[in-house]
Amino acid sequence: MDTQKSPRRTTRLSASSTNHPEAAVVYNSHLTLDDLVFGDETISSDELLATLAGRRRQTLELLCHIGPLNSPMLPLFVYGGAATGKTSTVLQVFKHLNRPFVYSSCRTCYNPKILFESVLNQLMLHTRSSTNRYSSFKRCEKPSDFVNFLKEALVTVVKNLKENLSKKGSKKSGEHAKGSMVYLIFDNLELVREWDKSSTMLSFLFRLYHILNMTEVGVIFVSNASPDVYYSNAGSMDLFPLHFPDYSEDELRTIFMKSQGNSKLYSSFLGIVLKPYSRVTRRIDELSTAFLPLFQKYCEPLKDSGTALNEELKRKLFTHLQPHISSSLNEVFHAPTHSGGNFLMDKEKLRRKNSSKRLGATERVDEMDFHMSASAKYLLISAFLASRNPATLDASLFDSTGGTDSRKKRRKMSEKTKEMKENAEQELLLKGPGTFPLERLLAIFQCITSMSEDSLNEDQDEDIGFEVGGDSRLMADVLLQLSSLCNANFISKGGSCPLESSTRYRSLVSEDMTLKVARSLNFPLSKYLYRR
Amino acid sequence: MAEAPDDEFSPETFSGTFESNIQPFFVLHKALARKVEKKAPAASAGKARRKIDLSPAKLRHCEGIEGGCGDGENERCMERLRMEAFDSVWSKIESTIQDVLKKFNVNLFDDIFQWVCESFEAINVCQTSRHVKANRSYPIITDAASKKISIGLVLTKNLDFVDDLLTFRDLGVHLKSHGCHVANLSSLDFSAKAGIGGCLKIMLRQFLMISSDAADISVLAAWYSEQGLSKPMVIIIDDMERCCGSVLADFILTLSEWVLKLPIVLVVGVSTTIDSARKLLPSNVLQYFSPSKFMLGSPAEKMDAIVEAVLVKQCSGFNIDYKVAAFMRSYFLRQDGTLTSFIRALKIACVQHFSRQLISKGLSTLFLVEDTLGMPFDMRSPLPEAMLKNKVVERTGEKFSHALAESTRRKNYWSSVLLCLHEAGKSDNIQLLDLFCEALDPEFHKFVASDKNTNLERELGAKMSSDYCVYPQSFKKNGFIRQAVNSVRDLHETQLSQILENWERHTADLDEINEKVKELRSIISDEGKGSLQESINASRRITSRSNLNMGKETANEKAASLIKSLVREYMRPFEELHCFENADNLQSALIGDPRRQIQVDLLDVQKILKCNCCSKKGTILLPTMHDTSILYTLAQEHGDLINLHDWYHSFKTIINPVVNEKNKKKKSGTPKKRKARDEEPASISEATIQARFCRAVTELQITGLLRMPSKRRPDYLQRVAFGL
């Protein structure tokens, strides 16, 4: 960071930091106008275009729109899908131009107050520190205040910039701000739409340029969403749109090739994976996340052989990689175990496998990888049943005879109105898991627990000592269990007020999971599950 | 995890943990706690579901009533002794549990710390290569691959996350002590109501230790650069599933804008499966993660560690009998599944044991004697003054101490054999708790005692598939001890020697067994060497392999027969002088069944309120009774659906009999009329009745006994959950 500063300017501008000289000892809190520029070494236009591979047209357009030194510009609206290089391009362009700018992301600044204060802090070269209790330069919540403060700040900054220019005009300055224009960049503008329903904030931001009415200010918006979606909110917009389209496959290739050392190997790798993947997504971030483990897989056979890349080897690598591609296409998220515990884990797994093999099919090892109490398991199953089965069948499925002869009844019924039934089932399938009230859940729960209690007492578990209290024991904590199931997102709860009568639940568990649970309890799930 | 059972019982933790999810229970609990004090203490002291009052005053109160016959002085002395006994025993158990759990997690914590350091290093490398300035508002421009947030997913392996609250707190302390900046966020901080601002604010407060007005992450950046940029920042979130997904996503996206500028590492608890992250968060958030998985020990493992330390190894001299053990086991497996509740059960058992279980008053002193005796067998250690006065101790004297020593010795043998069995059963995932229960089972004892010299060996060795119906119950297919013994036969050589090593460790204090184990071990190791030598000599011959197998076979057989003989010899029933055996009391104290209790209490409210006005009349409804109680009693006359109009009118007739009297004037005698007039000088206005009615109905609704009318049937209320 450039620590050079003229004393006159600091006394005027960063009053807060001069008031507390001790802050400077801990951390270089004196900012100068030169901190408004990007800061690193400037890059030439060739470098600029080289770094922004695939964005040549947009970069040139952007440069063109921003224009030469000290020329006013209309507000610019940069838009395009996620990860198409909008923010990078804008920032790199400013790095190249070396002009002062203020960048605020509406993600980090998640409400108007923080956004305003962030802009003002940057403009006024204010640093938060323990001496000012990390407060911002000015408290500013209303747009009207913001306009006043902003105008004030801009006037000062522009004036100082001009003074700077005239003073250092002769000197060759590498890192000093060029020109007397200040650019305000608002990133992630689409988030502002969610801030308030009336979208006053959005129209305010769009009109900011006209409200300020200063030629020395340039405003640049960066957004995921196209300008169309803002029309309804902000009415007419006096913005110059600049679209960043998705990268083409060739552009993606150039981008990925740029960052790789072993270009030959990587290009052959890209030849395999880029095509299937670019059909799914063209986002750089998603692709690079997916490619990283795949490339490691790809290189696996190479570890020992230092041979040059030829066709044969390529084919070999391809056959090695191929099975992983389709599986990784569906995989969004993969968490490897940390290496420290790895060994232990493997050992454990091996042991488990061994033991399960030895015991054979008679005794299945509990396959669930987390602990659930039996009553929670039953509750999960009953919620699943309540969500999948139509409520009208409950009586026949769970009557005292245990649902054996009820099947006939059901069959008879379905024969009568077969077609209607089928339609209804189709509808049920499309709707997904149904909702159910608490009472139905509890009733089913009571049924299946009492049934399994019976079978339990018949064939095993004398040492469990469960028969002492009967099934009332299972009931005691049901609501607590239910709430913990809700917390684990296994059951969703509709309606917010627990007193409201209309609270309905819905099971969100997959059938596989439920089957696993049922298996661990030896519960005959299929017997109670209604199917066509 | 519940290291400090102390904390579990403190109201703070309760409100923190349960506030969000069991609001109704909380209401019930409050009401119950009051009742408990009014009821006869011996019967209902434990009825409160969530909070058991363990204050000394309470105990004294209990005992004062219970043992009311004794003379005051002696009584008070006994009380004090009981309290002392409880305090000393429980503090021992508690500290043991804490130690066990601490030991249990220490490896994982070190692992996590190491991983944090690695991630921090990686961030630092990126930072220095790119001249990052933390205080700049714009994000770093780099390739997407290096813009990742390290996230450690700690699988807690338990649906209920109560046990792990303290784990994460301890993790925070651990990381802090190793020089990280740590913020411990609760999942409740990520609520949709507070939004992103809420969790940022709490995070800032935890890092900065001061509250700043704006929850702006740039404050964190400013603070961090003042701190010298040398330590990693760790954010711990205890349970991801309970977080509001959108808020968590926003939070992570916000962090992602500061990635590389702020070296933030996330540690997140996951109570079910890794997949839940995928369900909760959108993919554009997930791709910012560079995740690592960490495994906490499963609750069953933790449970085994606790059972071993507390119940098997006898840290305190507090025992439980078979019934209680079986109850606690089934409660853990079937009901709650948290260690927290297991420890709570243990504590309640302990309290009950000392407060009311002791019929013979001397037994509490006995406990103290045994306590001092238990560790170094030192009878002459200073006993409390009061105890020396006690006649019981004087009378029993030396004999008593001998008996105790003998009992302790046998108990030690018993424990060691049990641990050996557990060691053997580990490969089959047999849990210590199961073995413990089975070993305590009187059926098992009977069996061992009845034919210990005949065919036990054969039976123990018999394969599970064989005719187990012949044998007594405990040797049915769930016979864990038999399974454990059997599993010894199928072990690999290395596993076997490992187990023998562990056996030797477990029996280190007991010479008799230790000798045997050592002997066996030396035999096996000799054999192993021999067969190894042989196999080397005759390198690829089938004979040598079969020979090796033979050797292994015999070694396994020997080990199995050793453990069998140990079981036969040392797992004899031994008469526990002082173990807690009242499972029913424990059950009612632990579970309490608040819903049923509320219904019962509403139906005979006189028992609790004990007012003069309505106690005499028994079950007849009187206007002086509590409105809610009247309404609930009236509701019993209806079925599932209650007609609102009928209900209101019957309520009205009861609280305002004046209206009634116009009709009944001839029928009802004067006394009732007079009485009614005494109590209700002026007839209550319609509005008041309606108001009271509404309030009572609302109360019933709040207790969860009623449901308000639906739109379809506006004049009917529905009764909810009877019998529950």
The pLDDT value given to residue B177: 94
Give tens-digit pLDDT for A128-157. Answer: 888 888 888 888 888 999 999 999 999 999
* Residues of B (222-251) whose Cβ lies below 8 Å from A: 222-223, 225-226, 239, 241-242, 250
Mean of all residue pLDDT scores within chain A: 75
> For residue B551, what are its two tokens?
């050797």
Looking at the fold, whether A259 and A291 belong to one and the same domain comes out as yes
pLDDT-derived band at A466 (thresholds 50, 70, 90) equals very low
| Tokens describing residue B429 | 């995932």
Say what the pLDDT of residue A119 is.
92
| pLDDT class of B237 with cuts at 50, 70, 90 | very high
Q: What is the pLDDT of residue A320?
A: 82
CA nearest to B593, candidates B689, B721, B475: B721
Stretch 255-274 of chain A: residues touching chain B, C-beta under 8 Å: 259
Of residues B399 and A278, more confidently modeled? A278
Nearest CA in chain A to B698: A499
Q: Mutation test of the interface with chain B: which of A371, A492, A496, choosing the one with the most B Cβ atoms within 10 A?
A: A371
Instruction: Determine the 3-state secondary structure of A187 from DSSP.
Output: strand
Of the listed ranges A313-322, B402-411, B470-479, the one predicted with least confidence: B470-479
Residues A265 and A384 in one domain: no
Give me the residue label for tokens 């590492």: B265
Helix (H, G, I), strand (E, B) or coil at B703: coil
A393, A518: one domain:
yes
- Please report the DSSP string for B343-405 in residue order: HHHHHHHHHHIIIII-SSTHHHHHHHHHHHHHTT--TTSPPPHHHHH-HHHHHHHHHHHHHHH
- Identity of the residue in A134, A371, A473 whose CB atom sits nearest the CB atom of B159: A371
- Number of residues that this document lists for chain A: 532
Domain that holds residue A137: 45-165+177-244
Q: Which of A528, A502, A530, A532 is nearest to A447 (CA)?
A: A528
d(CA B31, CA B629): 14
Whole-angstrom Cα distance, residue B207 to residue B180?
10
Specify the CATH number for the domain of residue B233: 3.40.50.300
Task: Give the pLDDT confidence score for residue B248 in this predicted structure.
Answer: 93
CA B330 – CA A66 distance, rounded (Å): 74
pLDDT mean over B591-598: 73
A24-67 residue pLDDT tens: 333 445 677 777 877 767 788 888 888 888 889 999 999 999 98
Judge whether B437 lies within some domain: no
Residue B397 burial class via C-beta count within 10 angstroms: exposed 0-12, middle 13-18, buried 19 and up: exposed
Q: What is the pTM of this model?
A: 0.75
The pLDDT value given to residue A414:
52
Provide ipTM, 2 decimals.
0.83
For CA atoms B105, B111, B117, B122, the dihedral sign is: negative
The reply to whether residue A463 touches residue B143, judged by beta carbons under 8 angstroms, is no
- Give the pLDDT score at B463: 37
Question: Does the structure show a pLDDT above 60 at B468?
Answer: no
For the segment B102-113, the average pLDDT, to the nearest whole number, is: 90
Q: What is the pLDDT of residue A394?
A: 79
A385 plus A493 within the same structural domain: yes
DSSP result, B488-499 = HHT--HHHHHHH
Give the alpha-carbon dihedral of A66, A67, A73, A78, to 10 degrees: -20
pLDDT (average), residues B295-306: 86
Choose the closest CB to A476 out of B136, B217, B591: B591
Asked if the structure places residue B7 within a domain, the reply is no
Confidence class for position A326, pLDDT limits 50, 70, 90: confident
Within-domain flag for B3: no
Integer Cα distance of B77 and A338 in angstroms:
57
Q: Does residue A93 lie within any of the structural domains?
A: yes
DSSP-derived pairing of the beta strands B149-155 and B289-295 = parallel
Degrees (nearest 5) of the Cα angle B328, B330, B336?
85
Is pLDDT at A376 greater than 90 in this prediction? no
Residue B495, pLDDT above cutoff 80? no
Partner-chain residue, chosen from B21, B292, B337, that has the shortest CB–CB distance to A335: B292
Whole-angstrom distance, CA of residue B707 vs CA of residue B701: 6
Domain count, chain A: 3
Residue B154 per-residue DSSP state: E
Judge contact between A409 and A516, C-beta under 8 A. no
Q: Is there a single domain that holds both residue A71 and residue A208?
A: yes
Number of domains into which chain B is organized: 2
The number of beta carbons lying within 10 Å of the beta carbon of residue B211 is 11
Kindly state the percentage of chain A with pLDDT values over 90: 12
Over 60: is that where the pLDDT of B450 sits? no
Q: Do A463 and B23 touch (CB under 8 A)?
A: no
Calpha distance A75→A343 (Å, rounded): 58
Q: B257–A82: do the CB atoms touch at under 8 Å?
A: no
pLDDT one-digit tens code per residue, A483-514: 888 888 888 887 655 555 567 888 888 888 88
Closest CA to A237 of A269, A207, A274, A273: A207
> Is the CB of A494 inside 8 Å of chain B's CB atoms?
no
Picking from B297, B314, B336, the residue at the C-terminal end of a domain is B297
Residue B150 · residue B174 · CB < 8 Å: no
Higher-scoring residue by pLDDT: B244, A368: B244
Handedness of CA A44, A47, A51, A55 (dihedral sign): positive
Please return the burial class of A171, using the count of CB atoms within 10 Å of its CB with bins 0-12, 13-18 and 19+. Answer: exposed
Q: What is the DSSP string of A305-344?
A: ------HHHHHHHHHHHHHHHHHHHH-----PBPHHHHHH
Supply the CATH number for residue A526's domain.
1.10.10
The per-residue pLDDT for range B255-269, each reduced to its tens digit, is 988 888 888 999 999
If asked whether residues A237 and A299 sit together in one domain, one would say: no
The answer to whether the Cβ–Cβ distance between B326 and A92 falls below 8 Å is no
Quote the domain boundaries for residue B113: 103-297
User: Residue A239: pLDDT above 50?
Assistant: yes
| Helix-then-strand count for chain B, H and E | 34, 10
Nearest to A210 by CA among A244, A177, A179, A235: A235
Q: Does A373 touch chain B (CB under 8 A)?
A: yes
Q: If contacts are CB pairs under 8 Å, which of residues 169-188 in chain A contact chain B?
A: 185
| B679/B682 Cα distance (integer angstroms) | 9
A523: helix, coil or strand? coil
A5-23: per-residue pLDDT in tens? 334 333 333 333 333 433 3
Note the helical H segments in A360-437: 374-388, 394-397, 406-416, 418-431
| pLDDT for position B437 | 82
- Give the number of A-B residue pairs with CB atoms closer than 8 Å: 283
Whether the predicted pLDDT of B6 surpasses 60? no
Nearest residue in A to B116, CA atom: A338
Rank B104-113, B126-135, B567-576 by mean pLDDT and report only the highest: B104-113
Indicate whether A234 and A265 sit together in one domain. no
- Asked if the model's pLDDT at residue B378 lies above 70, the reply is no
A475 touches chain B (CB under 8 A): yes
- Name the domain boundary from B271, B297, B323: B297
Q: What is the mean pLDDT of the segment spanning B166-182?
A: 92
Q: What angle do CA A65, A109, B250 make, to 5 degrees?
A: 110
Compute the average pLDDT of residues B497-501: 79
B640 located within any domain: yes
Helix (H) or strand (E) holding A77: strand A76-80
Q: Is A480's CB within 8 Å of B278's CB?
A: no
Q: Are B417 and B562 in contact (CB under 8 A)?
A: no
Q: Which of residues 192-251 of A touch B (CB under 8 A)?
A: none
From chain A, the residues in CB contact with B434 under 8 A are: 463
Q: What is the pLDDT of residues B210-221, one digit of tens each?
A: 776 778 888 888
- SS3 of B98-126: the string is HHHHHHHHHHHHHHHHHHHHHHHHHHHHH
Do residues A211 and A80 share a domain? Answer: yes
Could you tell me if residue B697 is inside a domain?
A: yes
Question: Cα–Cα distance between A22 and A44 in angstroms, integer?
Answer: 39
Cα B721 from Cα B718, distance rounded (Å):
10
Q: What is the pLDDT of residue A481?
A: 83
3-state secondary structure of A233: helix
A342 pLDDT band, cuts 50/70/90, is very low
Same domain, A144 and A58: yes
Query: pLDDT category, A257, cuts 50, 70, 90?
Result: confident
In chain A, % helix, strand, coil (3-state, to 5) comes to 60, 10, 35
* Residue B537 DSSP SS3: helix
Which residue, among B287, B427, B443, B466, would best test binding to A if mutated, counting the most A CBs under 10 Å from its CB?
B287
Asked whether the beta carbons of residue B293 and residue A335 sit closer than 8 angstroms, the reply is yes
Look up the CATH number of the domain holding residue B643. Answer: 1.10.10
Give the whole-angstrom CA distance, residue B392 versus residue B389. 9
Tell me the per-residue pLDDT of A261-274, one tens digit each, with 9 for 90 and over: 777 888 888 888 88
* Domain endpoint, select from B265, B282, B297: B297
Percentage, residues of chain B above pLDDT 70: 66
B91: closest CA of chain A, how far (Å)? 28
Bridge partners for B290 per DSSP: B150
Q: Does the residue B396 lie in any domain?
A: no
**Residue B653, in any domain of the structure:** yes
Neighbour tally for B493: CB within 10 Å: 17
Cα separation, B345 vs B325, in Å, equals 10
Q: Based on the domain organization, do A76 and A219 belong to the same domain?
A: yes
Picking from A363-372, B65-74, B405-414, B612-621, which range would have the lowest pLDDT averaged per residue?
A: B65-74
B 92-111 → A contacts, CB under 8 A: 107-108, 110-111
CB-based burial, A252-288: b 16+ in 10 Å, e otherwise: bbebbeeeeeeeebbebbbebbbeebbeebbbbbbbb
B74: helix, strand or coil:
helix
What is the predicted pLDDT for the residue at B452?
Answer: 44
- B663 is a domain residue: no
DSSP state of A361: T
The C-alpha of A518 sits at a distance from chain B's nearest C-alpha, in angstroms, of 14
The residue to which tokens 């049934």 are assigned: A451
Question: DSSP per residue over B303-322, as a string?
Answer: HHHHIIIIIITTSSS-EE-H
Long-range CB contacts for residues A72-75, cutoff 8 Å, separation at least 24: A72/A181, A72/A215, A72/A216, A72/A218, A73/A181, A73/A218, A74/A209, A74/A238, A74/A239, A74/A240, A75/A206, A75/A208, A75/A209, A75/A218, A75/A219, A75/A220, A75/A221, A75/A238, A75/A239, A75/A240
What CA–CA distance (Å, rounded) separates A103 from A122? 8
Q: Which residue has the higher pLDDT, A502 or B117?
A: B117
Alpha-carbon distance values, B245 to A49, A239, B268, B276, B286 (Å): 39, 35, 13, 11, 12
Assess contact for B252 and B281: CB atoms under 8 A.
yes
**A187 within some domain:** yes
Residues A237, A378 share a domain: no
Give yes or no for residue A470 having a pLDDT over 70.
Answer: no
Provide, as residue numbers in chain A, all residues whose Cβ is less than 8 Å from the Cβ of B299.
371
Map residue B435 onto helix, strand or coil: helix
Residue in B with minimal Cα distance to A466: B330
- Mean pLDDT for B40-61 is 37
User: What pairing do the DSSP bridges indicate for beta strands A182-187 and A217-223?
Assistant: parallel
Average pLDDT over residues B589-601: 75
Lowest model confidence (mean pLDDT) among B236-250, B378-392, B486-500: B378-392
Q: Where are the beta strands (DSSP E) in B617-695?
A: 641-643
- In this prediction, residue A187 carries a pLDDT of 92
Same-domain check for residues A233 and A125:
yes
Least confident of A31-40, B139-148, B221-230, B530-539: B530-539
What would the two tokens of residue A28 be? 């270089």
More confident residue, A455 or A345: A455
